[in-house]
Amino acid sequence: MTSLNGKVAVITGGNSGIGLATAKLFAAEGAQVVITGRRQQVVDNAVREIGPAALGIQGDVADPEHHRQVAEIVRERFGHADIYVANAGINTINPSQDVTEAEYDAQFGVNARGTFFGVQKIAPVLRDGGSIILVGSLASDKVLDGHAVYAGTKAAINAFARAWALEFKARGIRVNMLSPGPTETPILKKLGVTPEDHGAFVDMMSGAIPLGRLGRPDELASAALFLASDASSFVTGVNLRVDGGMALV
């Protein structure tokens, strides 16, 4: 029997990167997986890649109405959810003096607001004894150039995780934060790393990581599986750093 057999997992931003790797692993472990994403075509492609155990829902995580719709679809289709992974996030790297109001609002809208209202709306559908995983970042602990706003959003998520671990204790729902370090995902291109610069960027980042390399999406997915499954049945309110030791230096 696989570790998530018969479970229903909802993963925001499950159409690419760490979210997609997590969705694929959860499905392979027996879960019915519901993924969300902003672009319908990308969501559809991800569903095909994950397989018949996947359902895709398009929408904007910064909009609480989207989360209400997701919860209603999950309730109608499956009756409940067992696992919720708040993974969707964006990052715009900029020195604080250059950050625009639009950049600030977008990052807090997707990362913090999206996480908060996603959990708020799914909570009534989440079965007692379930697991909530909030995807944070190394940046909430380690100062990185140009990451002030992004770090602020992830620090908020860390605070949410700690508060919710106590708020949901009566229902036996565990709430934990998963904090990736630099990971080899398509987000590198969105951050402005061109194909020509990719090798040099990876070498530079690898030099700052004690394990000497970037993380892989499947490694983050495995950590998420630990937090989602009964293997972590006595774990709640933690910040699990999967960063190759980068927070230490």
CATH for 48 = 3.40.50.720
H or E element that contains 55: strand 54-58
Q: Interhelix angle for 17-28 vs 40-50, to 10°?
A: 30
Domain count, the chain: 1
98-106 long-range contacts, Cβ below 8 Å, gap at least 24? 99/148, 99/149, 103/149, 104/149, 106/62
Residue 196 in any domain: the answer is no
Residue 206 in any domain: the answer is no
Residue 243 in any domain: the answer is yes
pLDDT value at 1 more than 80 = no
pLDDT value at 190 more than 60 = no
pLDDT digits (tens, 9 = 90+) for 113-165: 999 999 999 999 999 999 999 999 999 999 999 999 999 999 999 999 999 99
The answer to whether 56 and 35 are in contact (CB under 8 A) is yes
The answer to whether 16 and 42 are in contact (CB under 8 A) is yes
Out of 84, 116, 150, 164, the active site residue is: 150
In the predicted model, what is the mean pLDDT of residues 103-121?
A: 98
Rounded to two decimals, what is the model's pTM?
0.95
150 is catalytic: yes
Q: Which domain holds residue 104?
A: 8-185+216-248
144-148 long-range contacts, Cβ below 8 Å, gap at least 24? 145/93, 145/95, 146/93, 146/94, 146/95, 147/91, 147/93, 148/96, 148/99
pLDDT band at 200 (very low <50, low <70, confident <90, very high): confident
Residue 94 in any domain: the answer is yes
Chain position carrying tokens 């690419």: 16
Smallest CA-to-CA distance from 63 within 113, 104, 28 is with 113
pLDDT band at 192 (very low <50, low <70, confident <90, very high): low
Return the pLDDT at 111. Answer: 98
Residue 202 in any domain: the answer is no
pLDDT digits (tens, 9 = 90+) for 203-233: 888 999 999 999 999 999 999 999 999 999 9
The answer to whether 164 and 132 are in contact (CB under 8 A) is yes
Residue 121 in any domain: the answer is yes
